[in-house]
Structure 1
Amino acid sequence: MPALITTDLVALDADLGADKGAVVRRLAELVARAGRATDADALHADVLAREAQAATGLPGGIAIPHCRSAAVTEASLAFARLRPKVDFGAPDGPADLAFLIAAPAHGDADHLTLLTALARALVRPEFVASLRSASSAEEIVRLVEEVVAPEPAAATAGATAAQATAPAGTASGAPAARKSIVVVSACPTGIAHTYMAADKLVAAGKAAGVDVHVETQGSSGATPLDPAVIRAADAAIFAVDVGVRDQGRFAGKPLVQSGTKRAINEPDAMIREALAAADDPNARRVSGAASAEAPAASGGGGARTGSEIRRWLLTGVSYMIPFVAAGGLLIALGFLFGGYQIVNGNPDVEGQSYALSWVLNNSFFDLPSASGIEGLNDGFLGYLGAVCTVLGQAAFGFLVPALAGYIAFAIADRPGIVPGFVVGAVSVTVGAGFIGGLIGGIIAGFAALWISRWKLPAGVRGLQPVVIIPLLATLISSGLMVVVLGRPLAAALEGLGNWLNGLTGSAAILLGIILGLMMCFDLGGPVNKAAYVFATTGLTAAIAGDGGQQELVIMATVMAAGMVPPLAMALSTAIRPRLYTPAERDNGKAAWLLGASFISEGAIPFAAADPLRVIPSMMLGGATTGAIAAASGVELRAPHGGVFVLFAINGVLMFLVAIIAGMIVGALAVTVAKSIGRSDAEEAPEDAVDLEHAHTPASAVPARAASA
């Protein structure tokens, strides 16, 4: 395995610039010149995106800027001993020792284990002192290689921090009089802060005469704490920047919770707080569900609430996006192979589309004969298109349930999944769509969290997680969706449809603007669907001979405007990538195809993470496209398909001009909005779910920010 650090990656007593951005750039250039990164600028942007989430300066004059980056080809360490010192945000002043930890976006476990070994060594004063006294680059390399040597790293990779560093007798033979604390540490990337927080707490516990047992939920895996150790513990500390996996194991333990940064900076204080909580019968305790408190302990209550709401939404979106990507692309392939009529109803089979009836009534060995229907392919390609369409529609059916289910999961842990999924499905049934899924998921999560805290008799307590919570939380959340939210929303949608019908004729341009705004307002939600249903209803009438050319213009306007949000976000991530995390940039690449396929949901990850900037910008772009398409009189005879149904468009050139104009306007608007009041290292939203352990391809989901 190649060395993590070489003399080419070391700069001693160097003036690399007056601020951390300049230092990071010079270190990124060292990595790129050594052939370990394809693009120094991309690596620099990824590091600064991580830096914007939380400063990487540590007490004692140390800085560990770090990230995962698609630009990194080989896990690497670049080191600089800085003259003069540079501020990286540490509480005790600027740093003179800076390690750039550069990990590939999909780094292998061995390299990640070595990187975390270095991070753990940086909490040892003797190692830091040796770095300051080293006289050559070769000596720095030797010192680093000693602490990341494969054998010690492998010995500790699967062990808890307590097992690796706690004094003899603190694991299984601890005296009964000693207090015991269990710790979970976790950060989004799991390279540095996860392990440094763990080791700091272990060291503080050792100094206080306390047994500390740590479970590090990091990038190189996690070895769960022994259930007997958890049962015997007097208190628990969650030093986490993301959700704790399988939190129910710690139910009932007095709890102290913070971000990893506080555990690194104030481990002694957290140990004292945990000991005090252990003796306080009124102390906060771990429930069987996820905590409703934000992970970070710093900041005002409003900031914590906003961060927690964002975490809920991003968790739901993170789990939903694979359904968007798979379903959207399958439907696009269905149009490509089967023709634009493939999703339309089959008049010969009531309640079935052409795609579904072909799949149910034919097989690969018994392909349908030519039907002679315009816009419907036959033979092998038609059958393949039907299969892709049925699979894509099935995947799309899970969008809102998955969104609601995992929002509830973020709030209440596993007890929230069932009521969340059910209320999401109900929101689709009653027409509440994407917005209903958001609201319903939050209601379901809090209902499950509330019920999980009930103190039930011992005889029925075992039924609480498997019967009582799913039953009652589902009744509460889905009941509210049906009884309270469904009818007002349905009435609002009907009113919108009637209003739109009155804006035809001479008000075509105004209608185009309104339809464009609606298509981009909630990205597949009830307002978007109201505009789409309005268009498809008119298209059906026009095809049947009951309507005129205006209905075809409306269909073209709606489709063109609906393609704008994913395309605009894709363009924005391309022209100003530093505004976005690496995962969002990957999502932007996928959005090109989703937008071209008329899958508005491709912009949902961006809208959910930053709605106040993204949604108005997308509406501006959609209104531009809608006005141009309507004014140009572009006509469309297909209900879906994007660029795959250009053959069904009358006025293709103006259709494309309208889309490009709206895409540019939307991209510029969101780029400017995200740039206002922000530095080059943008504060990109932090994903709340550990997607690496969800086994989801990074190309299909908004994988967490390049941070640790």
Structure 2
Amino acid sequence: MRIIDLLNENGIDLNGKAASKEATIKRLVDLMDESGNLTDKETYRKAVMAREEEGSTGIGEGVAIPHGKSPVVKEAGLAAMVVKEGTDFAALDDEPAYLFFLIAAPEAANNLHLEVLSRLSTILMDEEFRAKLIATTDIKTFLKLIDEKEQQKFGSETKKEIQDSGRTYQLLAVTACPTGIAHTYMAAESLENKAKEMGVTIKVETNGSGGAKNVLTAAEIKAADGIIIAADTNIEMARFNGKPVIRTKVADGIHKPKELIQEMLDGKVPIYHGTDEQSAAASSSDEQESAGRKIYKDLMNGVSHMLPFVIGGGILIALAFLFDDYSINPANFGSNTPFAAFLKQVGGTAFAFMLPVLAGYIAMSIADRPALAVGFVGGMLANTGGAGFLGALLAGFAAGYLVLGLKKVFSKLPASLEGIKPILLYPFFGILIIGALMVFAINPPVAALNAWLSMLLNNMGTSSKVILGIILGGMMAVDMGGPVNKAAYTFGLASLATGQYDIMAAVMVGGMVPPLGIALCTTIFKNRFTKKEREAGLANYVMGLSFITEGAIPFASEDPIRVIPSCIIGSALAGGLSMFFGCTLMAPHGGIFVFPLVGSPFGYVIALLAGSVASMFMLAVLKKPKTDQSEELKIA
């Protein structure tokens, strides 16, 4: 449902008068009624006021979006009002509101009002756009501005609308990162913004943790001049057969959008030829990926599928210890009480999938679906055979290349046997051979290596562990979600699986510091940053506390020489202090939300604060005050 479809000229007032909050809402309800959307405006007004009692819908920046859901609403609609002199609406930033949108949704409309609210909030984040809406005196212009902005931000609503309007895109893109959280969407935003700046139309599909969004249609792919793939995991490629395709890492989508777009516009990009299977096997000539890059993508494909099992299961196991009573039976700690036993059973079941899923999806990334079962079995054998995380990694790669070899061997069979290959030949011979490899070749030496590493870590003195914490904490800030960061995090996961909980604590606190240090610096040393940077800094409080290191990337991209060293120093300090205070963490993710599960929580908070403050001060020293900010700060 598009915003422009919900607005009626009779429901828009561009010359509203300043009044109390109640009077403003009454005027908006009157406009909604004049649009013909209500059967009983008083009942609807009470629904809107009841929503306001839960919390103000004045979202700040001069905008308020009151809303109500009621049986008296005939059909979904919007009313809009501009109060040019501003009015007090108890907004979250305590500033007057100038721009009002009232949302009405029928009782049976599910979460339609939330979808409209989300869209409005998104387009109204643009300060220049808000100013244009407030300044306009013509209703048709007001509607046109909203329509253009919504089209720009969200594109056409459906495939049919695209076909009906004849709208096509010059370029298409797909972004994806291993965790599917921050890098995916930052790369999409970077490509969209740079394309707009260059006068190029682009649509970006995001393959995030919640699945693919803004999915590219067959019609769009056919009409586009080319496709940019900025991804660190494998994606569906067969749909791009016969089109010019650039394949690169997700970081390039964030840092080099102009170069990628220009390369496509210059017409120097080779045509992609291949199926998903060929793509996975790296047999198409136009990929031109290095061996290291290919290995990293295959590894990250396994890690990205593994993380939900690790995080969900790991936190449940940690909660089992939190809610258990140690005194009942120390030997059975974690399962002494029924509730704790339930948490540990469910969490342990989920956590047990970690190694098979890791190996299975590494193998699938290499040799497509026929390798999945072979990889799963290899990962399970690594789990039961003591080879652990490292063994599962080796099992995944061994299974993938084993299946590639089987494909070549069986390619000489008659075409009439093609159907039995994936259901009989590949799984039977693949599982048999990977079983022999794991039991006789991989598990024994890797299990011995794991035992030696575990003994080494257990026998480490405080000073050695502090050094390890400094190294791991610093690694978390080197590339903030990139290969070095992921290497430290996967080491933490592997240690978590073997009971080295202090390592996971150092890794997580090191990853929390970069966004928090930047956020503190933008708050306390405001004259080092532009207004836009200060606003972005506020979001870093949430990202840092949630253990999303990627929040620091926009700042690191703009000023890497100053930002990255500052973050590394703070993260290394935090990791070292976490080890020094003997902090432990049994949960593999969660940031501040899993602090109740931290061992030595007081020391952990000290480590986090010390690292964040150190990053803040170092960044403040390295960054010079912006000479043109004084007047802006007075206004702010």
Scaled by the length of structure 2, the TM-score of the pair is 0.49
Say which structure, 1 or 2, has more relative contact order (CA 8 Å, 6+ apart).
1
Structure with more of its chain in helix, by fraction: 2
Scaled by the length of structure 1, the TM-score of the pair is 0.45
